[in-house]
Amino acid sequence: MARFKLYLEYDGTRYSGWQVQKQSRTIQGTLLDVAEKIFKDEKADIQGSGRTDSGVHAICQVAHMDVKTMIAPEIIRMKFNDKLPHDINILEVEKTHPRFHARHDAKSRSYIYQISRRRTAFGKPYVWWIKDKLNFKAMENASKLFLGMKDFRSFSDEDKLEKSTKVLIESIRMKEEGDLILIRIQGSHFLWKMVRRIVGTLVEIGRGNLTEKDIQHFLKSNSPEPAKYTAPPSGLFLEQVIYEGETFKEMMSPVTGFPLKF
């Protein structure tokens, strides 16, 4: 049995998230279906670094695959890409040590959220178009309240697989790039819908409907209110997963094609 590390990108629009679900098309399920065609009688197991929600995209998701095979990593990549649909692409395959785990070994993850301040004919599946004028500076100032180890119960739905609702947010960076507002959130891990609710709350700050005191209240007590502000999945991208010995790398925006430099 060999273990491989997979790097992949995908457009999540047509999928019900990463994790296999009965009677729903998912990223993991699609990969397993293709693996069955490639490896035939040798059953493959594929586990991702995290479960992206329905409709959420990935610039670089990481997964590990266990399968008994003598096929070289580059040939595995080519065989997958020959059979995968157009909206999932394997970027790289490398052989890794048997104890590597895509999820448990991850030290840090980053997400990018893209807000568009104008109606777009081409980027709609990849942005959240907001008609209202947003106070960017107020949003940027309020974002600092999320930094550090905080309890994000108010920003997530209940998930039986999560032992704790405390998450370390290492950095939140925001920038204006043309008609886009880009938000990068980097942390130890993320709870279900957490990033989308942080973004949605910041947007309400930008609209003038919430204050920094509201965010402080959400972080101190379990409030159902942030659920009302959940940002749509279209603008959210899993950007990067970082492991021991790795450093953060600037990625390319899937909308503008320019480096995501903050």
Indicate if 172 and 237 belong to the same structural domain. yes
258 pLDDT tier (thresholds 50, 70, 90) = low
Confidence at residue 227, expressed as pLDDT on a 0 to 100 scale: 96
> In whole numbers, what is the pLDDT of the chain averaged over residues?
93
Indicate if 116 and 9 belong to the same structural domain. no
Joined tokens for residue 191? 């709870």
Confidence at residue 160, expressed as pLDDT on a 0 to 100 scale: 64
CATH of the domain at 30: 3.30.70.580
Question: What are the angstrom distances between the C-alpha of 247 and each of 176, 242, 250, 258?
Answer: 25, 7, 10, 20
Torsion sign over Cα 28, 71, 249, 130? negative
- Angle among Cα 161, 165, 170 to the nearest 5 degrees reads 115
Stated pTM of the model = 0.92
Indicate if 127 and 224 belong to the same structural domain. yes
Contact yes or no for 163/191 (Cβ under 8 A): no
**pLDDT tens string 23-82:** 899 999 999 999 999 999 899 999 999 989 999 999 999 999 999 999 999 999 999 999
Confidence at residue 121, expressed as pLDDT on a 0 to 100 scale: 87
Indicate if 84 and 117 belong to the same structural domain. no
| Domain-embedded: residue 174 | yes
Any bridge partners for residue 184, and if so which? Answer: 112, 173
Indicate if 10 and 135 belong to the same structural domain. no
**DSSP-derived 3-state class of residue 26:** coil
| Domain-embedded: residue 156 | yes
Contact yes or no for 46/35 (Cβ under 8 A): yes
Q: How far apart are CA 17 and CA 55, in angstroms?
A: 6
DSSP state of 130: -
Indicate if 146 and 116 belong to the same structural domain. yes
Percent of the chain with pLDDT over 90: 84
Phi, psi (rounded to 5 degrees) for 258: -95, 160
Any bridge partners for residue 152, and if so which? Answer: none
| Domain-embedded: residue 175 | yes
245 pLDDT tier (thresholds 50, 70, 90) = confident
Torsion sign over Cα 144, 104, 95, 10? negative
Contact yes or no for 26/20 (Cβ under 8 A): yes
Indicate if 137 and 225 belong to the same structural domain. yes
Indicate if 212 and 159 belong to the same structural domain. yes
Residues spanned by the domain of 236: 107-243
Distance of CA 223 to the CA centre of its chain: 24
| Domain-embedded: residue 251 | no
Joined tokens for residue 13? 């629009």
Confidence at residue 158, expressed as pLDDT on a 0 to 100 scale: 77
Residue 206, CB-side half-sphere exposure with 13 Å CA sphere: 22
Active site positions, annotated: 53
Residues sharing a CB contact under 8 Å with residue 199, sequence separation 6 or more, in sequence order: 113, 115, 128, 183, 231, 235, 236
Indicate if 120 and 184 belong to the same structural domain. yes
Say yes or no to pLDDT of 256 above 70.
Answer: no
Length of the chain: 262
Say yes or no to pLDDT of 257 above 90.
Answer: no
Phi, psi (rounded to 5 degrees) for 61: -85, 150
Indicate if 135 and 13 belong to the same structural domain. no
**pLDDT tens string 164-205:** 899 999 999 999 988 999 999 999 999 999 999 999 999 999
Q: Quick one: average pLDDT of 85-106? A: 96
Q: How many domains does the chain have?
A: 2
| Domain-embedded: residue 258 | no
Pairing of strands 180-187, 166-177: antiparallel
| Domain-embedded: residue 101 | no
Indicate if 235 and 165 belong to the same structural domain. yes
| Domain-embedded: residue 90 | yes
Indicate if 140 and 223 belong to the same structural domain. yes
CATH of the domain at 114: 3.30.70.660
